[in-house]
Amino acid sequence: MDGPLEPRARAEERERRALSPWASLAAESKGRDRAEPPDPLRTAFAVDRDRLAADAHVAVLAGRRARLDEPRSRLQRALLVGALARGLARALALNEDLVDAIALARPLGTLPLAEGGEQAAATVLDGGLSVPEQSLRVVERLAAQGQGLNLTWEVRDGILAQQRDGARTREGQTVVLAEEVLDAAERWAVARAPLPPAADGWVRPGCAPVELAGALLGDVASHTREDDALRFGPRGASVMGELRAARQAATASPARRDRAAHVVAALLVHEAEQADGDAQQAVDRVGGLTDAQALAAHRERFEPDLSD
């Protein structure tokens, strides 16, 4: 008679029994670039989530502020996106460990000072910065002291997705949708626009953006059939349309964005010169700075000290 299953195998068996046929099963992962023995306790996707949470390089990048006018860090936002996506994944019986790992990794390729930093990347990179590709580079080439985290194919696929339909797992699509919904709700709040009429009675007036985002994802959970794409119902689609319209009024001020772009562009050009013209190395170096570090480096290198 067979002996008892080890903890990881038990967890994998629970996934088989509990998850949707359209969920990604850790036991059926397409694997890692470098083969490694399975963890005795955790599934492959749980290992990836924990590696991302524990790596010091990843933690520094994730700890950057989200925007110049937003004190919450990108790590906090990634955790919030992960919580929203995990709620939708639970409702649809998807793999929550995979959702968590993708949500942690997706913002890592951003440059300091948010949109201004991304605008500045065009100064050294032909075609500008692809945040998903840079995020993947962070976890594959820069994390773990340059050894990379050797993540599973499913996590890497979710990192690379530019749009929701670009993710080839339902979990990746869930994370991208949670990002879209939270971004729309946050920008609606920044614009101080009235609550969309279609949301009347759905959420309380003056609710936090995350509450509105949660209601929208609940609408998706109610209207998505297991064998269908993630979709809003009529009410949710109406609310999202109004939030997207409000987003136009909530973009960062041109002066602030241009100032941020000027700071990051100067740092990128300087680092490229130090790296014998290697633009990618410049992006890697500047990408490892927090907002405060980027501003301090710019003052030290380019702003004269007039105190004497």
**Whether pLDDT at 2 is above 60:** no
| pLDDT confidence tier of residue 59, bands split at 50, 70 and 90 | low
Over the stretch 206-228, which tens digit does the pLDDT of each residue have? Answer: 888 999 999 999 999 999 987 77
Residue 68: what pLDDT?
A: 42
Residue 78: what pLDDT?
A: 84
| pLDDT confidence tier of residue 65, bands split at 50, 70 and 90 | low
Mean pLDDT calculated for residue range 264-275: 93
Residue 71: what pLDDT?
A: 44
**Whether pLDDT at 64 is above 70:** no
Over the stretch 110-169, which tens digit does the pLDDT of each residue have? Answer: 888 876 777 888 878 888 889 899 999 999 999 888 899 999 999 999 999 988 889 999
Low-confidence winner among 52-66, 77-91, 93-107, 223-237 (lowest mean pLDDT): 52-66
Averaged pLDDT score across all residues of the chain: 87
| pLDDT confidence tier of residue 187, bands split at 50, 70 and 90 | confident
Residue 44: what pLDDT?
A: 98
More confident residue, 10 or 56: 10
Residue 305: what pLDDT?
A: 63
Mean pLDDT calculated for residue range 279-300: 89
Residue 117: what pLDDT?
A: 78
More confident residue, 111 or 50: 50
Most confident of 70-79, 187-196, 203-212: 203-212
| pLDDT confidence tier of residue 295, bands split at 50, 70 and 90 | confident
Residue 48: what pLDDT?
A: 97
- What does the block give as tokens for 207? 């609710």
Residue 56: what pLDDT?
A: 63
Over the stretch 191-202, which tens digit does the pLDDT of each residue have? Answer: 777 888 888 888
User: What domains appear along the chain, each with residue ranges and CATH number?
Assistant: 42-295 (1.10.3210.10)
Low-confidence winner among 63-72, 161-170, 252-261 (lowest mean pLDDT): 63-72
Residue 251: what pLDDT?
A: 56
More confident residue, 141 or 248: 141
